[in-house]
């Protein structure tokens, strides 16, 4: 499992000529780091003087941040597995017409899974961004820059995940599926960008 590697080990395999892990796994990791920072900000704020008014909100945000971090970390491996499934489909036999039909179907299903994986990463990165935004002015001011970094990491994960969606879409022949996904990623980018800009402005104005 990639997530069980040390940073040095992960970096070495990432920088090798292996086709996976790649950008999708890095996008998931980026989002997970953002979520962990949000969790840290919550823990540095709960029970601290001056933030008693926001105790309920911080207590509600903390398990969400922890769950997002855990989910995105799992996706570091899941995204690589989805890509490997596409590669496996291309290696299926194509000797007979039946072989060719089965191989084509497997490739198409593989590409759809390869789209759904980074799409899920993108959705969870948006959740991290919106959670970061919800804590503005309600969390430890000494950790304000950490909240800003959390937002930037999550946004990098969002954009990176969407790039991985887009690169696979042209290989899919199902036009209705492609239209649906295109609309979804457009909305996710809009939501994420708005949250990221809001956090960035607040952090910049208050540092």
Q: Cis check for the bond before 147: say yes or no (omega within 30 of 0).
A: no
Give yes or no for a contact between 143 and 41, defined as CB atoms under 8 angstroms apart.
Answer: yes
CA-nearest of 141, 138, 125, 109 to 35 is 125
Distance CA 61, CA 19 (A): 36
CA dihedral 134, 197, 169, 157 (to 10 degrees): -70
Q: What share of the chain is helix, strand, coil (3-state, %, to 5)?
A: 85, 0, 15
pLDDT digits (tens, 9 = 90+) for 167-191: 999 999 999 999 999 999 999 999 9
Q: What is the pTM of this model?
A: 0.91
Distance CA 73, CA 80 (A): 12
* Residue 149: pLDDT over 80: yes
> What's residue 21's pLDDT?
85
pLDDT digits (tens, 9 = 90+) for 64-105: 999 999 999 999 988 778 777 888 899 999 989 999 999 999
CA-nearest of 155, 157, 149, 193 to 40 is 149
Residue 168: C-alpha distances to residues 20, 104, 165 (Å): 15, 15, 6
Give yes or no for a contact between 202 and 135, defined as CB atoms under 8 angstroms apart.
Answer: no
> What 8-state DSSP symbol labels residue 16?
S
Residue count (the chain): 207
Q: Domains in the chain, please, with CATH?
A: 19-206 (1.20.120.680)
């Amino acid at each position: 499992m990639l997530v069980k590697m040390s940073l040095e080990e992960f970096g070495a395999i990432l920088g090798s000529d292996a086709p996976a892990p790649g950008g999708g796994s890095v996008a998931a990791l980026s989002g997970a780091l953002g979520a962990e920072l949000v969790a840290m900000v919550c823990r540095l704020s709960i029970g601290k003087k001056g933030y008693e008014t926001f105790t309920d909100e911080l207590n509600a945000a903390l398990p969400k941040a922890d769950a997002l971090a855990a989910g995105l970390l799992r996706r570091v491996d899941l995204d690589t597995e989805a890509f490997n499934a596409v590669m496996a489909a291309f290696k299926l036999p194509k000797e007979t017409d039946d072989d060719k039909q089965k191989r084509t179907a497997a490739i198409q299903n593989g590409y759809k899974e390869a789209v759904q994986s980074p799409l899920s990463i993108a959705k969870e990165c948006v959740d991290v961004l919106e959670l970061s935004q919800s804590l503005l002015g309600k969390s430890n001011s000494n950790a304000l820059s950490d909240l800003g970094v959390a937002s930037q990491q999550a946004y990098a994960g969002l954009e990176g995940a969407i790039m991985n969606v887009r690169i696979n879409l042209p290989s899919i022949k199902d036009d209705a599926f492609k239209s649906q996904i295109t609309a979804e990623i457009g909305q996710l980018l809009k939501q994420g960008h708005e949250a990221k800009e809001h956090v960035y402005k607040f952090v910049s104005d208050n540092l």
